[in-house]
Amino acid sequence: MSAEREASGYVIAATGLRAEARIAARAPRTRAVAGGGDAAHMESLIEQAIAEGCRGIVSFGMAGGLQRELKPGTCLIGREVVHGNNRYRADQAWAARLQTRLPRAELVAIAGVDHPLLTQSQKQALFSATSATAADMESHVAARVAARHALPLAVLRVVADPQARDLPRAALAGMRADGSTDTAAVLRSLCKDPGQIAQLVRVAADAGRAYWALLRCHRRLGPGLGLIDLG
């Protein structure tokens, strides 16, 4: 660990994809882990990363919209994370710092899910059950570990998958356990069902908007994605 991190600690950014992790890791004093959509693997990675001076955990990356009006690229700050019967509150001071630096972001409830939401009906059902604005597969894991270790929690997510759209299975076929992309698996899925191609093109375009939004967010937040300079 560097002298800088020894002196001031670091934040763990919990992401699903390596591409998201690379963005988060650009922020000073931030260690990013990518769980690849596997909750148990994600939890293990966060636990391993905590030991050397972690000061907080942020769930960082893309999310699926649960409200129809949310457009791809919309930035969301979580005030709480909902998972089943559990509700985890985000750290208020950290959330306020995010709001100050990202004034266009919306402060919302985020739902954690253990499996991808592929259809509009699945998203509508989760919204009805939780009233959450968006969902992802990492926030509840980050929240659970943060609560266990009494660490501050933040959630910064950008909408990539709007509510009013089904996800093609090819979009998920290529997700490896380490958060990287298996292009061959995507192509195999498309060969089996070429009708997914148009959907996948739209998904890729929306993901591109979300990635650019994540980049803009991280540039505004500073060390530890907005936590470290809170003192």
Would the pTM count as exceeding 0.85? yes
pLDDT digits (tens, 9 = 90+) for 140-169: 999 999 999 999 999 999 999 889 888 767
The rounded mean pLDDT for the chain is 87
Q: Provide the angle, in degrees to the nearest 10, between the axes of the packed helices 18-25 and 197-221.
A: 20
- Measured distance CA(85)–CA(78) in Å, rounded: 17
Chain centroid offset of residue 118 CA: 17
Residue 47 pLDDT = 95
- Measured distance CA(16)–CA(161) in Å, rounded: 14
Beta bridge partners of 33: 14
> Which domains does the chain possess?
3-165+208-230 (3.40.50.1580)
- Measured distance CA(156)–CA(13) in Å, rounded: 10
* Residue whose entry in the numeric block shows the structure tokens 């300079």: 229
* Residue whose entry in the numeric block shows the structure tokens 């934040």: 11
For the record, the structure tokens of 127 come out as 């919204």
Name the more confident of 143 and 3. 143
